Amino acid sequence: MQNDFLKQLQHFLRDIEKAEQAAQVPQRLADYLFSNQACLDESNITLDLINALSDWLEGKQQNLNQLYLSLYLFWLSALARNGIDIFYFGELNKLQMLGSRFRDSAINNLYYLSYEETNQQEITAFHNKIAASTAPFILYDPQGLKLAFAVEHPQAIGCISLYDLLIDNFIPLSTTATQYTHLLAQQYAALANPNVRTVIIGNSYSFYGFPDALFEHSINLSTHSLGLKQAQQLTAHIIERYPHVQNFVYCLGFFDLYSDLLKTKDDFNQQIIHAWSQLNSHYRIKPEEGITADGMQAFSRLVMPTPVQGQAINGLEDNNARAQICESARLVFARSDSLPAMQQKEEAQKRGSSHSKSVKHQTTLAENKPRVAEMSVQLATKGKKVIWLTPSFPSDYVDNLDAEMKQTHRQYFADLEGAHSRFIDLSEHPAFAREDFRDGDHLNYLGAGKMIGILRALGVAL
């Protein structure tokens, strides 16, 4: 069986998933299978596919659901029958941690290339093995990301991030709760209150910008560096699990469209990933999905433990420990101090210049735009009210941000405005002074109260 056969079946599945292309797939699929009969066996799965295709072509079925399912099961069976090859780029210790979860019977070969590899012959040989593989899956951790994408591999069935894979399978990075997990869990647990009408989701800007002492019937489910990928998971989960929540406020920085937490190398951000993996596993935050031709889902079904159940995190239900952690956090949120003028100016300029570097992440931008669009459609379909909020910043921070980044952010979220959606940009609001910020780009308690007051005056339910 050749790689192009398995890859072409994946293309057919993806075309069926697209409404505008679905109608043309059955005849094309029939022609393709007829031309590749040598790749077909006489199993019941193959017979089911042939029968479903015949029924469709004879007009016996009016939808593609059965054909899609039959083709999907045939594709998975062909991958499993052939045995997949795993090509891992990155750190050996992370592969070892992940490998302990693999179902070995599904794997034909496992290859590893260190992120520290500089020998071009070794790198080329590794890529040649990918090109020669019938069923290649590329896996990488943040250290190995650049090496993994240095050469395109269009024949790969999936190109999968380590942390995405762990989140997809509800696997925590450890089973002992961290302080950040407790903070997230405190807010998550509060969603069960039927009086909660509004949820605020975002990164450190909303983590500090919406102290829970300043509002009622709202929950701030934010933390440092939380990205749009996590926001999408939370959104789908809350809609499904907590339908009484009617309003969603997304507090986003200018760089968020260019950012993916699960690709980070930063040590602090890795702590946030750690906390997110625990929250996700303990409460099963990622909602169940239907079958898709996505390489991640195929890999999870073939190689990862099933059924996926998640894992309880030790100490996360310890109310005394949580109360102490949350009380310490409240003291931080309640701070009204700010940096001296010159120090704040320098810090703001430094942060603006640093965040501007994200504009080079065009691949992530291309991933995040449809992600936000899907969230917007999903929320509108459910009749939810949405605020896309850019919070207030010191002028020295905004002035030192990349102009393209600012324009892209403002134009994209302005285009989402509609009956259920508003874009509010407070980034250069004249009401805010130096004393309203704790550092170069985060509000302090006084500034947070001022922003909440402005939002209420604009009709935002907080």
Mean pLDDT lowest among 18-27, 224-233, 293-302, 422-431: 18-27
Mean pLDDT lowest among 223-232, 309-318, 420-429: 309-318
The whole-angstrom separation of Cα 56 and Cα 72 is 16
Whole-number pLDDT of residue 22: 84
Q: Check residues 419 and 342 and name the one with the higher pLDDT.
A: 342
Measure Cα distances from 298 to 34, 47, 142, 290, 447 in Å.
25, 21, 22, 12, 47
437 forms beta bridges with 443
Q: Check residues 248 and 291 and name the one with the higher pLDDT.
A: 248
Cα atoms in the Cβ-side hemisphere of radius 13 Å centred on 352:
20
Long-range contacts of 286-290 (CB under 8 A, 24+ apart): 286/167, 286/168, 286/170, 286/233, 286/236, 286/237, 287/233, 287/236, 287/237, 287/240
81: tokens are 């029958």
Whole-number pLDDT of residue 94: 95
Confidence of residue 58 (pLDDT cuts 50, 70, 90): confident
Confidence of residue 306 (pLDDT cuts 50, 70, 90): low
Strands 421-425 and 247-251: unpaired
Whole-number pLDDT of residue 286: 80
422: tokens are 């508003």
Cβ neighbours of residue 219 closer than 8 Å, sequence gap 6 or more: 187, 190, 191, 196, 198, 199, 200, 212
Average pLDDT over residues 330-352: 94
Q: Which pTM was predicted? A: 0.91
Amino acid at the residue 19:
A
Average pLDDT over residues 197-202: 98
Share of the chain above pLDDT 70, in %: 98
Q: Are 437 and 394 in contact (CB under 8 A)?
A: yes
Confidence of residue 305 (pLDDT cuts 50, 70, 90): confident
Q: Are 448 and 455 in contact (CB under 8 A)?
A: no
Residue recorded with tokens 């925590």: 172
Integer Rg of the chain from CA? 24
Nearest to 279 by CA among 181, 162, 163: 181
Q: Are 39 and 69 in contact (CB under 8 A)?
A: no
The whole-angstrom separation of Cα 327 and Cα 323 is 6
Whole-number pLDDT of residue 61: 62
With 80 as the cut, is the pLDDT of residue 289 above it?
Answer: no
Give 11-26 pLDDT, tens digit per residue: 999 999 988 888 888 9
How many CB atoms lie under 10 A from the CB of residue 15? Answer: 17
With 80 as the cut, is the pLDDT of residue 299 above it?
Answer: yes
Nearest to 51 by CA among 76, 31, 30, 24: 30
